[in-house]
Homo-oligomer: A and B are copies of this chain.
Amino acid sequence: MASEPEHRYQLRDLEEALQKSPADLAAFLSDTHPADVAEWLEELEDDDARRVLGALPVELQAEVLSFTDDWRVGELLTLIEVPQLVEIVEELPADEVVDLLARTEDAKSEEVLRQVDLERAKGLRELLAYDEESAGGVMTTDFVTVPLDISVGDAIKEIRSEEGPASEEEVGVFVVDKAGRPVGFVSDRDLITTPIHTPIEEVMEKDLIVSKAGDDQEEAAHQLAKYNLSALPVVDETGVLIGVISAEDAHEVLQDEVEEDLYRLVGTSIEDPTRVSVLHRVRHRLPLLALTMCGGLVTASILYFALGSTGSSGSGRTADILRFLPIIIALAGNVGVQSSTILVRGFATGEISPDRGAAVVWAEVLTGLVIGGICGAATMIAAAYMEGGGLSGLQFGASVGVAIVVAVTWASFLGCTVPTLCQRWGIDPAIVAGPFLITLSDISGSAIFVTVAALMAVTTAH
């Protein structure tokens, strides 16, 4: 991305390094931020990805994986053998291990669990048992607690004596009573600035907000955000502290929640919409679009029966055609907004870099074509049947079907190009992605429909 400092390496630098010796590749990678390596892994072929991972020491492999997007982690895990995975697992905090294992085939994950330290495996199995969408599913069990009756200096000693993978997200310690229930929280900053002989009870924050392991993860994340906490304690049924949700993880949950709402709102796949295959896109969008299509057929029927019975003049060819206009503009509008939403968010998150733009647009337009083809064919049959079948019914149905294919494909093309041009011209693409785009799609859908109908009437008249 152009916005990054110039000394940062780019994907093409890695591609150059891949041409050189393993030692050169290792040297290049050691000079690069793991988050950048993670981003590149999302673009590389599996073979190259395997070489990159292989050239990294195991701590960095673990770190790179923790930066990699979930969809790619799942794929990369199939490239990593069990012994290597065991080493990686030993480097990561528990909640990230659980995320990794949840994305590994069951047999392999079981094999890994059998090879890690017994105590740790027990903890991991417990974490794995929580619903992924619950507070238990997002918490980590790697955290430090201190008893209530010690001093600040002793608490610092406790932190120093803790072993195991340290998490960068740890910013304080929870104080627990004798039964293990959380009674206070002290930030690292307070530990540093308070005289060491002060009893911990005097410096700790007492008014704790707690979450239960079975609570919804979004509810827990909203609590953390509302009370501006740096960590949210998670307790079991008896009130004993069993885990901690970091602010970082809670914010990720909230961010995902609103992204999901946004994609659900337009009826498209909620995960990695710029990366998934055309088939995946079609499969995700088709159910709601089929509903849109059925709704359009209901509308056409309502118009047929209602207008036939209002005593207005007989329904000629023009009226016949117009009854199917709602179905066309509804389908085109939907598909257009799906494409534009994906582009808008892709630009906003930086996921659509300049060199990926064309691929995303191509996949979206192809998706539009396939969806248009399926809905067009189905509507053609329905329209032909509703018009009484026969050659004229079929010809009529074909006009409607062809118009749908063209209008839907065109709408997804508009949905890609309008936000792209806005992005290039420095206009916020989100402003044009919704109502403006639907209006464009409505107008052009109508124009396409009447043009197709006219052309087909001319063609078949010969």
Question: A227 vs B222: C-alpha distance in the bound complex, in angstroms?
Answer: 23
> A67 near B: Cβ within 8 Å?
yes
With A228-B248, A251-B255, A264-B433 as contacts: A450 and B350 at CB distance below 8 Å: no
Q: Which of A44-76 contact B (CB under 8 A)?
A: 67
C-beta contact mask, A299-310 vs B, less than 8 Å → 1, else 0?
100110011011
* B contact residues around A222 at 8 Å (CB): 349-350
Residue of B nearest to A205 (CB): B168
- Asked if residues A288 and B436 are in contact (CB atoms below 8 Å), the reply is yes
- Asked if residues B313 and A318 are in contact (CB atoms below 8 Å), the reply is yes
> A138 near B: Cβ within 8 Å?
no
C-beta contact mask, A329-345 vs B, less than 8 Å → 1, else 0?
11001100100010011
Question: A322 vs B248: C-alpha distance in the bound complex, in angstroms?
Answer: 54
- Asked if residues A434 and B266 are in contact (CB atoms below 8 Å), the reply is yes
C-beta contact mask, A255-273 vs B, less than 8 Å → 1, else 0?
1011111101111000000
- The smallest beta-carbon distance between A450 and chain B, in angstroms, is 4
Question: A4 vs B224: C-alpha distance in the bound complex, in angstroms?
Answer: 12
* B contact residues around A435 at 8 Å (CB): 266-267, 288-289, 291-292, 334
Interface residues on A, range: 35 or more
Q: Which of A185-238 contact B (CB under 8 A)?
A: 187-189, 191-193, 207, 209-210, 215, 218-219, 222-223, 226-228, 230
* B contact residues around A5 at 8 Å (CB): 209-210
How many monomers of this chain does the complex have?
2
* B contact residues around A313 at 8 Å (CB): 316-318
- Asked if residues B325 and A292 are in contact (CB atoms below 8 Å), the reply is no
- Asked if residues B443 and A302 are in contact (CB atoms below 8 Å), the reply is yes
> A21 near B: Cβ within 8 Å?
no
> A159 near B: Cβ within 8 Å?
yes
Question: A316 vs B171: C-alpha distance in the bound complex, in angstroms?
Answer: 74
- A119-127, A175-183, A370-378, A451-459: which lies at the B interface? A451-459
- Asked if residues B323 and A326 are in contact (CB atoms below 8 Å), the reply is no
- Asked if residues B447 and A261 are in contact (CB atoms below 8 Å), the reply is no
Residue of B nearest to A295 (CB): B439
With A191-B192, A228-B248, A450-B306 as contacts: A258 and B260 at CB distance below 8 Å: no
* B contact residues around A166 at 8 Å (CB): 189, 193
> A33 near B: Cβ within 8 Å?
yes
Question: A450 vs B300: C-alpha distance in the bound complex, in angstroms?
Answer: 12
Partner of A257, one of B261, B314, B330, B348: B348
> A41 near B: Cβ within 8 Å?
no
Residue of B nearest to A35 (CB): B227
* B contact residues around A19 at 8 Å (CB): none
- Asked if residues B319 and A446 are in contact (CB atoms below 8 Å), the reply is no
- Asked if residues B262 and A265 are in contact (CB atoms below 8 Å), the reply is yes
- Asked if residues A192 and B160 are in contact (CB atoms below 8 Å), the reply is yes
Question: A166 vs B258: C-alpha distance in the bound complex, in angstroms?
Answer: 31
> A247 near B: Cβ within 8 Å?
yes
Partner of A33, one of B207, B219, B259, B322: B207
* B contact residues around A191 at 8 Å (CB): 188, 192
Partner of A264, one of B291, B314, B434: B434
Question: A33 vs B266: C-alpha distance in the bound complex, in angstroms?
Answer: 38
> A154 near B: Cβ within 8 Å?
no
* B contact residues around A226 at 8 Å (CB): 35, 39, 350
Q: Told that A266-B434, A312-B316 touch, could you supply 14 new A-B pairs with CB distance under 8 A?
A: A35-B227, A159-B189, A171-B189, A255-B258, A261-B430, A265-B434, A294-B439, A299-B446, A302-B446, A307-B450, A314-B316, A315-B316, A316-B318, A319-B319
Listed from nearest, the 7 A-B pairs whose CB atoms lie closest are: A313-B316, A295-B439, A188-B188, A322-B322, A306-B450, A251-B251, A264-B430
The contact sample of 25 A-B pairs, CB cut-off 8 A, is: A33-B209, A35-B227, A159-B193, A171-B188, A171-B189, A192-B192, A251-B251, A255-B255, A257-B348, A258-B348, A260-B430, A265-B341, A266-B435, A291-B435, A294-B439, A299-B442, A303-B322, A303-B325, A303-B450, A310-B450, A311-B457, A315-B316, A322-B323, A330-B438, A334-B435
